[in-house]
Amino acid sequence: MNVLKTALLLAGLTALFGAVGLLLGGGRGMAVALGIAALTNLYAYWRSDSLALAAHDAREIDARTAPDLFALVRDLASRAGLPMPRVYLIDSPQPNAFATGRNPRNAAVAATTGLLSALSREEVAGVMAHELAHIRNRDTLTMTVSATLAGAIATLAQFGFLFGGRGEARPNPLVLIGTTLLAPIAAMIVQFAISRSREYAADREGGLICGNPLWLASALQRIEAGVAHVPSPSAESHPATAPLFIVNPLSGRGLDTLFSTHPATAKRVAALHRLAGEVGGAPARAGGFRDAHWTGRGGPWG
């Protein structure tokens, strides 16, 4: 089903590429736009993970540079039946995290330094389990490719506004303005329609992977509170990557607030509490994440 959703998403965004090209440059513009879309689709499939990580200046860590975080992800990946993903840190005070990659063998998880300083080990385990659930469900392909294509559509619209033909070949100024404003929004709508439905599934699976859904519920509340007070300049500069994060990282200014990238946190927390009731809401089984060597919030993550 995810393969079909990915194909439909790519087809919808490719069609939007063509429509923008048609409005900006007629038949020739549409042909050029579709050619760009085809190349972007191919490039996004293979490189969208690298682009998302680079957009937020993420740095890869290992068992030597950040042993606690690396060991936590390794243990969670083992419990989820997944290969060990690459692990990245983003130097940002905003608490947040995301996963990326075209398949489980080419996946990565990224956490901000703010997440590690604001959350307990159990809460971080819930967050990382959520991201691993996205990897196991192969949501990361859809989300990273759509983020890349949505950003490309916004760039194409802006480029067309600045260089959209000369003389009689130049479109009506109102068409240029409308395309520049509406094309990125349309691309974001396509993204959000898919990403929002996937958050509930990743929450449920993440709660089961970490061993206690209440850890993830608590983490979501802390992250939402942190995002409300701490902006993320890299996310504001690359709003197309917002659906990748566990909680919308955007500050709420401008066009970004017209549509929600995620379900309401209160609804997600309520669903996790219901899940905890179903599984007993007990602490994780033996081999969980309460570590005698763990120093708690603000510990030595690296």
Check residues 204 and 196 and name the one with the higher pLDDT. 204
Q: Which of 195, 91, 57 is nearest to 134 (CA)?
A: 195
The average confidence (pLDDT) of the chain is 79
d(Cα 19, Cα 159) in Å, to the nearest integer? 15
Q: Which of 188, 204, 215, 62 is nearest to 136 (CA)?
A: 204
Mean predicted confidence (pLDDT) in 282-297? 44
pTM of the predicted protein model: 0.76
Cβ within 8 Å of residue 211, ≥6 positions away: 79, 125, 283, 284, 285, 288, 289
Q: What proportion of the chain, given as a percentage, has pLDDT over 70?
A: 62
pLDDT of residue 52: 86
Q: Which helix (H) or strand (E) holds 94?
A: none
Mean predicted confidence (pLDDT) in 35-61? 81
The ranges assigned to domains in the chain are 2-279
pLDDT of residue 145: 67
Q: What is the pLDDT of residues 149-202, one digit of tens each?
A: 666 666 666 555 544 554 445 554 544 555 555 556 656 666 666 566 789 999
Q: In what order do the strands lie in the sheet with 86-90?
A: 59-61, 86-90, 107-112, 97-101
Per-residue pLDDT band at 8 (split at 50, 70, 90)? confident
- Exposure on the CB side of residue 237, measured as CA atoms within 13 A: 8
62 close to 70: Cβ distance less than 8 angstroms: yes
Q: What is the pLDDT of residues 219-231, one digit of tens each?
A: 999 999 999 999 9
Q: Which of 36, 26, 249 is nearest to 153 (CA)?
A: 36
Mean predicted confidence (pLDDT) in 45-62? 88
Is the pLDDT reported for residue 302 higher than 70? no
Is the pLDDT reported for residue 62 higher than 70? yes
191 close to 147: Cβ distance less than 8 angstroms: yes
Check residues 48 and 222 and name the one with the higher pLDDT. 222
Q: What proportion of the chain, given as a percentage, has pLDDT over 90?
A: 45
Mean predicted confidence (pLDDT) in 44-61? 86
Q: Which of 162, 300, 297 is nearest to 219 (CA)?
A: 297
Alpha helix positions (H), 81-172: 113-118, 121-136, 139-163
d(Cα 216, Cα 40) in Å, to the nearest integer? 35
Question: SS3 string of 207-276?
Answer: HHHHCCHHHHHHHHHHHHHHHHHCCCHHHHHCHHHHHHECCCCCCCCHHHHHCCCCCCHHHHHHHHHHHH
254: left (phi over 0), alpha (psi -120 to 50) or beta: left
142 close to 194: Cβ distance less than 8 angstroms: yes
pLDDT of residue 29: 65
Check residues 37 and 174 and name the one with the higher pLDDT. 37
247 close to 265: Cβ distance less than 8 angstroms: yes
d(Cα 234, Cα 245) in Å, to the nearest integer? 12
Long-range residue pairs from 161-170, CB within 8 A, at least 24 positions apart, any chain: 164/24, 164/25, 165/24, 165/25, 165/29, 169/25, 169/26
Q: What is the pLDDT of residues 232-268, one digit of tens each?
A: 999 999 887 888 899 999 876 444 444 566 889 999 9
Assigned token pair, 238: 């690359």
Catalytic residues: 131
Is the pLDDT reported for residue 285 higher than 50? no
